[in-house]
A and B are shown apart, each in its own frame.
Chain A
């Protein structure tokens, strides 16, 4: 389609550029009857006269066109059928060319039906017709525009030829010159070496010599260099006039026209310019008595019609009195101050110097059309080129779009040339498969290089097979994408898992996009996940197993005492009569019962803790009370077993009230103590020491240690001591001791951890055990009526503060009010009148003097922003750990003001006019020790 468009355009272009030489062929029209005449030419009979106009020059020739215009006036189309031939003889410089034309023309004319009359325009045409009598036959000829005397003479010899002579009226022009410009006696006659030029030169010379009043100069532009021509013309002075006659054949061999040359030469001429053969006033000439070619043509046309209608040519005489017209240019007349009255009566005065546009519009239009067509052509061509370029670009585009972090390699395969264009970059992170300089490589090479990285032989073979281009293309015709995953190992790199995607970029699979994604990480991530899942599953298994184990243990431990109780009740029945034995039995039942109860309690505890159902309820527990509780238990426990006991080191805790779960802390403490007692043989010692340490801001640590010099624990056991039912089988002493539930320590650990506490154990077999427990607690002082460390007092609902603030405010009225408000809360005020003062006071004061700064923003000397920034800078320099709160007092609650405040280092703001509540709110926010 594009090709068609292009050639179409080209042909149009061609047609425009090539000068059109019209050749009108005679058409056979309807209603004509066809017959042959004597000379063999086909004759048609129609109501119209057939006239052939043979013009010597080209259709667009200046003079010819006017002549033909005249002709057409005389030859109405209802009567005549006029044909034209343009010989365009001006382009011929040699006779040889002319003879070629003759032959061509002859052939053409001979094929045409006979004419009623020929009209020969200008010399060469008549020449031709007279030379070819065989063609012309006896068809009459009417000529016009002929001035060559020889031809005229020759023509007059023939009876079938008549016409209108073209005799230039030099004489009238000489008269005119004399009348209008009496002082000018010299004529410069501009002519050329064309046939007409030669003839005209002769005519002129004859005429001017006959006139006798003028000197003259012949300026032949065909034989004179252009510069000289211009020079001579410029030199023409007040004594001269110029006659421009012929300017067709230029010195450089080119052909021009009268009009064009006149335009060219006029700027160099400052004397009146006449023309005799053609009206050149529109080119700026003065004018003249000029050959009227239109009138001549008309005359000739009339004569031709007469003859066609049947008149004998000899009855139509040759016109020797050539029609002329007197034409003068108004502008030039004014320039030379010639009045119209001085001119001949019938003179035509024209004011028609064509402006640039009028003169040049024709060539301009043609040029424009030509240029537009050329541009169109270029546009079409470049579109084709750019669409090719588009193809290239879009390869790049695609590769760019497709590339992202995960994709390491992109390329486009051009199937037709079996070439692969790679995106610049590397194949793997470790090394480049292809250096950037070789971006487009043959497909085979590409595949080979890729295959090198596959370390598994089988996979490599498969790869080479599957990567056959034809095979790939076939596959891609059926499906849009191919996806392959394989393991690669480049030479210096680790094994990686890569996924290759091949996508077809168009339906016919002319281009294939190939890109590689690294899935190594993805895979390893999956593996890791699987590993974690597996571990979790295992852990769950173990926990489950442990639970099952636990339950079976518990059921055993529960059944034992129940069994014992039932047995003992049997015994008791039997021992009814034995009071001692009965008492013993009952005692034992009680013991078992107690054991059972404690076991069940323990199990419930553990189960609650494990299922996160155990809630700690904190309450106030006076430390002193706690210690007395310990004593109450330890004393009987130890004395029963014959152990010494000691409670000491409790000074640290006195005076404190703990917020703690009473029941549980007691439980833990008791459990540890009872273990110590249990595993210490008679004569040993158990001691408790504990207190509350590191109290700060209402928080402290409850820390106690229980020491015994009992059997101790082996290293092995210490590792598992907190596990359920763990027994120290490695300790020989252990077997002698009665076992408890086996859950005690595990409960202790759980509860301690629930309280965010820790247990530490030190023990040596045979030497004893030390167990230390630390639990963070909230504490209060017991002195007074519950006073805390904060400065707020909420007794009467009012807020009271203490301390000192720094107030920076330049307006005295505002300062007074603010001061009063702040003082009302109990805080004292130091007043600074501007930011600079504020800064100075702050720097001089020791840290902590002021609890806050209230400052205005708009202040003279230094404003609030700058002061705040300076204060922060100072704090940084001083390495102060506490930032003083800076609160802005502003009338502008606009967001940018707030942002600026924050940036400058201020903490908050209150709006003006300030209110008491806001002052209090700020004070309580920033001075509560948070």
Chain B
């Protein structure tokens, strides 16, 4: 994987790597796994159906993963969205924040496009 590409995309490369105990191979594998992670899908679906509960679950899950992998931009935008959806939720506000999340998700995906998806166990 190209470290520079990731850094240019705003990734916290060092942070992500440290969480993998310095294991570059592991970090790369996990970035690849992100491509088939369903969190964003669930968020998308929830927003489309205007279901606060489902959208929250997706956003919350995405937040955890993004944080772990050092996807800072995605993490930050998603944090706000997650809070807007917590509890009763404010769907109107969530809709305002959602585009930012989509944008940073796409950027992140762009950054890891050259990384191979690992084989499923």
Partner-B contacts on A (CB < 8 A): 811-814, 816-817, 820-821, 824, 858, 891, 912-916
Contacts and interface: CB of A to CB of B under 8 A. Distances in A.
A812 B33 contact: yes
B23 A814 contact: no
Given A820-B23, A820-B26, A813 B68 contact: yes
A811 B20 contact: no
B20 A891 contact: no
A337 B52 CA distance: 74
23 contacts: A811-B37, A811-B61, A811-B65, A812-B33, A813-B69, A814-B68, A816-B26, A816-B29, A816-B30, A817-B30, A817-B68, A820-B20, A820-B21, A824-B21, A858-B60, A891-B63, A912-B64, A913-B19, A913-B64, A913-B67, A913-B68, A914-B19, A915-B19
Given A812-B37, A817-B68, 19 more contacts: A811-B37, A811-B39, A811-B61, A811-B65, A812-B33, A813-B30, A813-B34, A813-B69, A816-B26, A816-B30, A816-B33, A817-B20, A820-B21, A820-B26, A858-B61, A891-B60, A912-B64, A913-B19, A913-B67
Contacts of B54: none
Contact of B57 (A813, A814, A858): A858
Contacts of A824: 21
Contacts of A915: 19
B47 to A, nearest CB: 18
Contacts of B68: 813-814, 817, 912-913
B20 to A, nearest CB: 6
B6 to A, nearest CB: 15
Interface string B32-59: 0110010100000000000000000100
Nearest to B36: A812
B64 A814 contact: yes
Contacts of B63: 891
B26 A811 contact: no
A812 B67 CA distance: 14
Contacts of A814: 64-65, 68
Interface in B56-99: 57, 60-61, 63-65, 67-69
A909 to B, nearest CB: 14
A821 B19 contact: yes
Contacts of A817: 19-20, 30, 68
A821 B33 contact: no
A912 B26 CA distance: 19
Contacts, number: 49
A859 to B, nearest CB: 10
Contacts of A811: 37, 39, 61, 64-65
Interface in B8-39: 19-21, 23, 26, 29-30, 33-34, 37, 39
A912 B20 contact: no
Contact of A821 (B21, B64, B67): B21
A817 B29 CA distance: 11
Nearest to A857: B60
Residue in A813, A914, A915 whose Cβ sees the most chain B Cβ within 10 Å = A813
A814 B69 CA distance: 9
A395 B7 CA distance: 85
Nearest to B19: A817
Contacts of B33: 812-813, 816
Contacts of A891: 60, 63-64, 67
Contacts of B39: 811
Contacts of B19: 817, 821, 913-915
B82 to A, nearest CB: 8
Interface string B90-116: 000000000000000000000000000
A816 to B, nearest CB: 6
Contacts of A812: 33, 37
Nearest to A891: B64
Contact of B37 (A813, A858, A912): A813
A858 B20 CA distance: 22
A342 B30 CA distance: 110
A195 to B, nearest CB: 87
A858 to B, nearest CB: 6
A472 to B, nearest CB: 69
A828 to B, nearest CB: 15
Contacts of B21: 820-821, 824, 916
A816 B64 CA distance: 13
A713 to B, nearest CB: 71
A764 to B, nearest CB: 73
B57 A912 contact: no
Contacts of B23: 820
Most buried by B among A817, A821, A858, A914: A817
B36 to A, nearest CB: 9
Contacts of B69: 813
A916 B60 CA distance: 22
Nearest to A860: B57
Residue among B29, B63, B65 facing the most chain A CB atoms (10 A cut-off): B65
- CB-CB nearest 5 A-B residue pairs: A913-B67, A913-B68, A813-B65, A813-B30, A912-B64
A913 B69 CA distance: 9
Contacts of B67: 891, 912-913
Contacts of A821: 19, 21
A820 B20 CA distance: 7
Contacts of B64: 811, 814, 891, 912-913
Nearest to B79: A891
A816 B25 CA distance: 12
A920 B21 CA distance: 14
Contacts of B26: 816, 820
B51 to A, nearest CB: 16
Contacts of A912: 64, 67-68
Nearest to A820: B21
Interface centre among B19, B34, B37 (most CB of A within 10 A): B19
A813 B71 CA distance: 13
A835 B19 CA distance: 24
A55 B33 CA distance: 117
A913 B75 CA distance: 11
A915 B67 CA distance: 12
A837 to B, nearest CB: 15
A491 B60 CA distance: 77
Contacts of A820: 20-21, 23, 26
A619 to B, nearest CB: 43
B16 to A, nearest CB: 9
A148 to B, nearest CB: 93
A912 B69 CA distance: 12
